A = this chain, B = another copy of it.
């Protein structure tokens, strides 16, 4: 599935900007859109004229023009950048990115693995390829860094690593991101570090629109652990709506009758939708089936905002190590009576 988005340097989310507290940064922005734009440096403390609200803090950057932003970084944390011009449209089309400011003095304890996940939601009418920015509530694609499971990258860590995941959200909905197998602490927002005395333990970090959240934990439990949005429709792809509710309806007679006319007809949904993960239902062009992805035990029946944290004790690189090899006797087992 290919979608026509807008972004920065040819990608959405745009490239992650990394700098160090105290740095003076100069960023050149060339507008290659057909309409004007600006960039707002969300959460960054800077002079008012660099804040990027078109009309309020600066002139709009017209198509073809290049503007310079320059400021000194006076903080550290997980910030963002995005337009503040025609923003309902431009953010819905994919214009956004991380702006990571590292502390001057290294953090203690040291972070071994540091991940960034941008949360996004889109409405792409099946059969079309351009997101519709007029949609306010009824989205049909939900992505981590513009990808759906199993296209999302796994998070590979070594047993014992201290892990930080930075999550950012510029969509219309809060996304409660749930990690299996762990309790973690919420350690920061786009407003800065939360003091240890105020950090909440969670298994799910709720990320409201217009915020970032940093979470931290020590990867002390080996295995393949699901990491996903806990709004159940957000771990599905398109094609889950606009189908009649057939649960509990005996369709066997109907199926036979319709097959006289349409030999491929298939009654669905009588006992649930898990069949969707294995069937090859014909789809409109350029959309995605509701559920995708295979694991070591068969279809995972997920899509959308879903990936896997892979914790291993025997790896020498952070390349994808494949599926976890469960130790014998540690997997839920079937009772044979």
Question: Residue of B at shortest CB range from A35?
Answer: B272
Contact residues of A between 258 and 274, Cβ < 8 Å to B? 270-274
Q: How large is the interface on A (under 10, 10 to 19, 20 to 34, 35 or more residues)?
A: 35 or more
Q: Describe A's contact surface by its main secondary structure.
A: loop
Q: Is the CB of A204 within 8 A of B231?
A: no
Q: Is the CB of A332 within 8 A of B221?
A: no
Cβ–Cβ < 8 Å partners of A172 in chain B:
231-233
Of the listed residues A34, A223, A272, the one surrounded by the most CB atoms of chain B closer than 10 A to its CB is: A272
Contact residues of A between 55 and 87, Cβ < 8 Å to B? 55-61, 65-69, 75, 84-87
Question: Residue of B at shortest CB range from A43?
Answer: B203
Cβ–Cβ < 8 Å partners of A35 in chain B:
271-272, 274-275
Question: Residue of B at shortest CB range from A223?
Answer: B48
Cβ–Cβ < 8 Å partners of A308 in chain B:
56
**A248 contacts B by Cβ under 8 Å:** yes
**A102 contacts B by Cβ under 8 Å:** no
C-beta contact mask, A170-203 vs B, less than 8 Å → 1, else 0? Answer: 1010101010111110000111111101111111
Q: Is the CB of B132 within 8 A of A240?
A: no
Extra 8 A-B pairs, beta carbons < 8 Å, given A59-B298, A170-B230, A209-B230: A57-B326, A65-B334, A87-B235, A136-B240, A137-B137, A172-B233, A176-B210, A208-B230
